[in-house]
Structure formats: structure tokens, C-alpha cells
Amino acid sequence: MFEQLSDRLEKVLKFLRGEGKVTEKNMAEALRMIRLALLEADVNYKVVKEIIEAIRAKALNQEVMESLTPGQQVIKIVRDELAAILGSEAKPLQFSSRPPSVYMLVGLQGSGKTTTCGKLAKWTFGRQKNPLLVSFDLKRPAAQDQLRMISRQLRVPFYEMGGEKTAVPKEALKELLVYARSRGLDPVIVDTAGRLHIDEDLMNELRLVKDSLEPVEVLYVGDAMTGQDAVRSAQAFEEKVGLTGVILTKLDGDSRGGAALSIVRVTGKPIKFVGTGEKFEKLEAFHPDRMASRILGMGDILSLIEKAEQEADAKEAEELVRRARRDEFSLEDFRKQLQQIRKMGSLSGLLKLLPRGGIFKNIAAAEMDDRRMLHFEAIINSMTPKERSDPKIIDGRRRLRIARGSGRSVFEVNQLIKQFFEMKKMMKKSEFKKIMTTIPRSR
């Protein structure tokens, strides 16, 4: 996500870093580059105008222009403005003080609404909740079957809403709340009807559901790949039904990200979650400040640490940090690290959370993928315990034996050893040690 915008803005940042002072002339050129980058990323033109005016007003401030590091000051301003456009701070999902919390998902057909119900159920289940899935669509019987199948996959309860129950919709919706309360099911996640386009019948049905259930959250589910169409649809749902937040799906497939940068400002509603894949666990809480840093190539170390905390073994991670600090990191530790990384998700996704420059430059640029990680693990498995603890003893004869034993080439064995020593060198740098120091504290 945001690859196109990130690449464009990185050029702007390089331009600013190369300038000794910020002047009206070079700032005008930088703003022109930022404007083009945002428009090409499919950001709403009114939003682009707001961002540019805000950056111009702050960047041409006398204090910034006379600063010893004006380029860095302007970069901070750009980051802050992007974060402000994205919503400034994370707005977590609300829970009702009187259970069950009702979450009503709305959106056009094909936006990924039903799948997102499943993702949201898994997300709440992981937070010690007992969700109930229900589909309320008076026109499309297949909607019940689709959500029922998802509930079976996730092993969460499903409430049948079809047939005679919908003859008197208001009564059916009240019965749903009684059912959830009596069984201690919370939250109730309601999938609603969708159409290929907005019509009054759909809006009347959604208003009926909202008035009957009084949901704590009305979440618009929009397909990020439709760009400004998703923004216009969200605006229509906000005006006719009323929203509390937005979930953007397929953000992993949209390299521009214009919808995310427009939807908050246009609707006035925060992005609560983003979908970053088809699997049910691929739903991430949205953090505007972290996303702004990622767009500018500054990485997102906090999200990386959170992923590690969810998937990694805490004792093992602390032992790894201790060994790294004492310069005792071995190929055995490297193998354990590869196994932990696989639990956290795809390597390409994790690399995007690292800053593009500094000590992480070589890692982010490395040609690593999930298949190569498995190959590296096979190579380490073919080594003796002594070779894993002291790779310096691995000469040409040993490399040939390891290659044959793992079914990989000598070239790949050489690559692994080279990357391992580069990693050890990086671990000795002060920047890395600062980050490693924060990990145990974050626990």
C-alpha cells in the first residue's frame, strides 16, 4: 500500500535534504512535487489543496527558514500534515457499557463487507469477546449462507435471520438482541444489505436496522482499490444513514492509497481498521501517525513490535535481545528468528514496517522472500552445532557439504553466511541497540 506515493515523496525529501536553506523558491518546487505526488495517488483534489496550503504556511515560518536543519523541519511538517489528514490519532472500536455492543457494517456490494464481518469477529474473539454473527438482508438469501459458512470456519455463533423472522423486521431485530443477551454473546456483528449502487430502498432498510438495534458503531466498509468512488459512497452513507467510522478493505492491493488520504477529511469519520489480505486475521487497527511515517519511508517500528508481541514467545525474544546485546548472536539464534518471523506473517509485509534508510537500508533492499527463508532454514539445519555457533570455521569444503545436505547451491550457502555477518555488524550499531532496548520495555 502507498508504494507509489511513498516513492514520489521520497524524492521530495531527498530534494529538501539537499538544500542548505529553505527559501520561497525551493519550497515552491517541493510543494509542486508534493502536489503532483498526492494527485497521482488519487487523493481528492480539495484535500490536496488543504494539505499544500497547510504545509506552505508552516514551512515558510521564519523559525523554520532560519533553522540549522530546515530540511528535517519541513519533513516533520509534511509528516504531521499527513497524520492530520488521516485522522491525527487512532480511534479505537467502541464497546457499549450495556452489552451487547452492536456493530453494523454497511457498504456497496463487492466491497468485502461480509468477509470483514468475519475478520471483525476474529479480532474481537482474540480480545476475550464472544461475538455473534448475523446477516440482515431482506433481498438476497445467499447472504445468509455466506456468513453462516464464515461463522463455521471461525467457530463463532451465527444467528439465522431469514424466512418468517423477517416478516416483521422490527420485531425480528428486537428478538436478536434478546437472544444475544440471554446467551452472553457480545458483540453482535450485523452484516447488512448491499447494492451495486446507492438507492432509497437500501437506505430505508439500513435506517430501520439502525433505529431498531441502536448500534454503538456504524462502520462503512469501502474497497480502497475503487479510489475516489469509495470516498463518494462513504459520503453518501454518512449523509443518509450516519456513520461512526470506516473500514478500508484491499489496502494491500492499492499502491496509491488515495482513498485512505481522502476519506477521513471528506466524511469527517475516522478509519478504524484496514484490511490487508484475504485471511481473517488480516485486519489491522488503523494508526494515522504510524501510517504517515510509513508513507514517508520512516517505517513503523511500533507496529512491528506489536506483531512480535502477539506471535513471538516472550522468554525466547528476551533471550535473543540479551544475546544480541552481548554479541553472542549465532546461526542457531538466526534460525529461531526465521521461525518467529514466519509466525508474524509475510516477510515482504514486515520489511515495509522498517525505515527505508539508516541501518535498515540493506535489510529493506535485500532480495528476501518467504521461500528463501525456508531455504536458509534448511541450510542452517544441515550444519553441525559447532558450525552454527561459530560460522567463521565454515570453509569451502564445509560449504560444499552443507549445500549437498540441504539441497541448495553453494552460492546460497555463501549468501546466508554473508547476510548473517551483515546482521551481526548492524547489531553492534548504536541505532539498533536503542531499538532493542525498547522491546523488553514494551512488554
Residue % of the chain over a pLDDT of 70? 75
131 burial via Cβ count (<10 Å: 0-12, 13-18, 19+)? buried
pLDDT digits (tens, 9 = 90+) for 177-198: 999 999 999 999 999 988 777 7
Residues of the chain with CATH 1.20.120.140: 3-85
d(CA 193, CA 162) in angstroms, rounded, equals 13
Q: Can you state the angle between helices 70-85 and 288-295, rounded to 10 degrees? A: 130
Q: What does the CA dihedral 145, 149, 154, 158 come to, rounded to 10 degrees?
A: 30
- Taking alpha carbons only, the member of 43, 238, 127, 107 closest to residue 117 is 107
**136 neighbors 160 (Cβ within 8 angstroms):** no
The CATH H-level superfamily of 301-442 is Signal recognition particle, SRP54 subunit, M-domain (1.10.260.30)
Residue 240 has, within 13 A of its CA and on its CB side, a CA count of: 19
Sheet of strand 188-192, all strands in order from the earlier edge strand to the far edge = 158-159, 132-136, 188-192, 102-106, 217-223, 245-249, 271-275, 283-285
Q: Is 224 left (phi over 0), alpha (psi -120 to 50) or beta?
A: alpha
d(CA 162, CA 148) in angstroms, rounded, equals 12
pLDDT digits (tens, 9 = 90+) for 256-293: 667 777 888 888 899 999 888 888 988 888 888 888 77
Q: Choose the weakest-confidence range: 134-138, 217-221, 231-235, 439-443.
A: 439-443
| Mean pLDDT, range 154-160, rounded to an integer | 92
| Mean pLDDT, range 118-144, rounded to an integer | 86
Cell representation of residue 375: 531455504
| Mean pLDDT, range 15-30, rounded to an integer | 77
**83 neighbors 242 (Cβ within 8 angstroms):** no
CATH architecture of the domain with range 102-295: 3-Layer(aba) Sandwich (3.40)
Look at residue 25 and tell me whether its pLDDT is greater than 60.
Answer: yes
Look at residue 440 and tell me whether its pLDDT is greater than 50.
Answer: no
Residues of the chain with CATH 3.40.50.300: 102-295
Residues of the chain with CATH 1.10.260.30: 301-442
| Mean pLDDT, range 379-385, rounded to an integer | 93
Q: Are strands 271-275 and 283-285 parallel, antiparallel or unpaired?
A: antiparallel
Residue 113 has, within 13 A of its CA and on its CB side, a CA count of: 29
Look at residue 160 and tell me whether its pLDDT is greater than 80.
Answer: yes
End-to-end CA, the chain = 28
For residue 363, the one-letter residue type is: I
Task: Give the mean pLDDT of the chain.
Answer: 79
pLDDT bucket at 306, cuts 50 / 70 / 90: low
d(CA 81, CA 85) in angstroms, rounded, equals 6
Look at residue 323 and tell me whether its pLDDT is greater than 70.
Answer: no
Q: What is the pLDDT of residue 380?
A: 93
| Mean pLDDT, range 49-63, rounded to an integer | 83
CA-CA-CA-CA torsion sign (112, 118, 121, 125): negative
- Taking alpha carbons only, the member of 58, 57, 10 closest to residue 37 is 10
Report helix, strand or coil for 342.
helix
pLDDT bucket at 45, cuts 50 / 70 / 90: confident
Q: What is the pLDDT of residue 317?
A: 58
Q: What is the pLDDT of residue 256?
A: 63
Q: What share of the chain is helix, strand, coil (3-state, %, to 5)?
A: 60, 10, 30
d(CA 249, CA 275) in angstroms, rounded, equals 4
Q: What is the pLDDT of residue 360?
A: 47
Instruction: Output 424-428 pairs: Cβ under 8 A, ≥24 positions apart.
Output: 424/327, 424/329, 426/359, 426/362, 426/363, 427/324, 427/327, 427/329, 428/327
Q: pTM for the full model?
A: 0.68
Instruction: Give me Rg for the CA atoms of the chain.
Output: 25
d(CA 315, CA 123) in angstroms, rounded, equals 25
CATH of 3-85, one of 1.10.3720.10, 1.10.760.10, 3.30.56.10, 1.20.120.140: 1.20.120.140
